[in-house]
Amino acid sequence: MRIKSGLVALSVLVAGIAPATAQTAEKFPDKPIRIMAPYAPGGNIDVTARIVADKLKDVLGVTVLVENKAGASGMIGSDAIARSAPDGYSLLVSANSLVSVPAIYGNAPYDWKTAFQPVSHIQEVPAVLVVTPNSPIKTMADFIALGRDGKFAVADSGVGTTNHLAIELIGEATGTRYTLIHYKGSGQAHADVIGGQVSAQVDQLNAAIAHIKSGKMRAIAVSSAKRVPQLPDVPTMKESGVKGLEDFTFSTFTGLYAPANLPPEVLAKLNAAMVTTLTDPAVVKRFADLTAEARPSTPQELAAMLDKEERRVVPLIKKLGIKVE
């Protein structure tokens, strides 16, 4: 009899939880939302988060705040969101490094597949190969020719960054290798390329375009599928005629994520809000001005992008033994 009474009580309790959860989702959002940008202010992730937050507050009708918590290549801030309540009020903006950084560190506090719920793709920006203005390198073929003995120095913005992985992917595709100079961010690398201390750099186009347009650096090729409107005279790597690069593309893409186990109703509201945000002409232009292409997606499409990224870069990371310094 006690067992039967206990089961009845449990069923009543469960029945009470379901309507409460649905009611909570129905009211969402009714308080401020936090978006974590797990890197220092001013970078690609931070700027992306702030552009999104600025429009989301109007779409959702609540305050949307951006919080920066840098460290461990984004893992500290990402872990803070993974441990947050899955109620839609704590969100994360992250790049495709969400899958590569844990492989490089080897001790990530979370598994991205089970810790996060993808909400929507936000924007993507290609990589660009740049050189000093007086460099004898004129084409992608010239650059590849210098990578036969591994001695030619190339700068990137840090171990495990998408810029670093772009160089490694180029090398894997063409059978070349370089002496990689890992900087702590793009700024110092830019200074050394402009000053001639390093002859070449692979960087995100949005970080390098101001120096390209000012003539301080010269762009050789971009890693997008087609030429970018802001630099119509700069060819894609696919156009280079180099063996192995016939279909080569690579981009840094960002997405919005929530903690796992987000209620479906809340996920649907957030995704719909992101579609509205990322198709707003003003938002599209803000990203375009940064050479980035804004594009919303379904949660499933963003998850598929991460799966594809993992299959592409994680085996290479393991093969080359890339580890944090």
Enumerate the CATH 3.40.190.150 domain ranges in the chain, comma separated: 2-124+253-320
291-325 residue pLDDT tens? 999 999 999 999 999 999 999 999 999 999 998 86
Which of 34-38, 178-182, 204-208, 279-283 shows the lowest mean pLDDT across its residues? 204-208
Q: Which two tokens stand for residue 291?
A: 């050479």
Coil, helix or strand at residue 85:
coil
Superfamily of chain region 126-240:
Periplasmic binding protein-like II (3.40.190.10)
What's this model's pTM, rounded to 2 decimal places? 0.84
Buried b (16+ CB within 10 A) or exposed e, 264-303: eebbebbbebbebbbeeeebbebbeebbbbbbbbebeebb
Enumerate the CATH 3.40.190.10 domain ranges in the chain, comma separated: 126-240
Dist CA 246 CA 239 (whole Å): 7
Dist CA 177 CA 131 (whole Å): 17
Residues 6+ apart with CB under 8 A from 236: 221, 222, 223, 224, 225, 226, 227, 249
Q: For 85, phi and psi rounded to 5 degrees?
A: -65, 135
Dist CA 103 CA 80 (whole Å): 19
CATH number corresponding to 2-124+253-320: 3.40.190.150
Q: What is the largest CA-CA distance in the chain?
A: 89
Whether residue 218 contacts residue 227, with contact meaning beta carbons closer than 8 Å, is answered with no
Dist CA 46 CA 41 (whole Å): 5
Q: Which two tokens stand for residue 188?
A: 């110092």
Name the band, by pLDDT with cuts 50, 70 and 90, for residue 20: very low
137: left (phi over 0), alpha (psi -120 to 50) or beta: beta
Whether pLDDT at 12 is above 60: no
End-to-end CA distance of the chain: give it in Å, rounded: 64
Q: Is 223 exposed, middle or buried (0-12, 13-18, 19+ CB in 10 A)?
A: buried
Separation in Å, CA 313 to CA 28, 273, 293: 37, 31, 22
Whether pLDDT at 188 is above 90: no
pLDDT in the model for residue 324: 80
Q: For 40, phi and psi rounded to 5 degrees?
A: -65, 155
SS3 percent helix, strand, coil of the chain, rounded to 5, is 50, 20, 35
Using alpha carbons only, what angle is made at residue 142 by residues 139 and 145, rounded to the nearest 5 degrees? 150
pLDDT in the model for residue 315: 95
Whether residue 77 contacts residue 36, with contact meaning beta carbons closer than 8 Å, is answered with yes
> 20 versus 77: which is more confidently predicted?
77
202-249 residue pLDDT tens? 999 988 998 999 999 999 999 999 999 999 999 999 999 999 999 999
Q: What's the DSSP call for residue 235?
A: P
Dist CA 93 CA 95 (whole Å): 7
Residue at 104: amino acid letter:
I
Dist CA 128 CA 204 (whole Å): 6
Name the band, by pLDDT with cuts 50, 70 and 90, for residue 183: confident
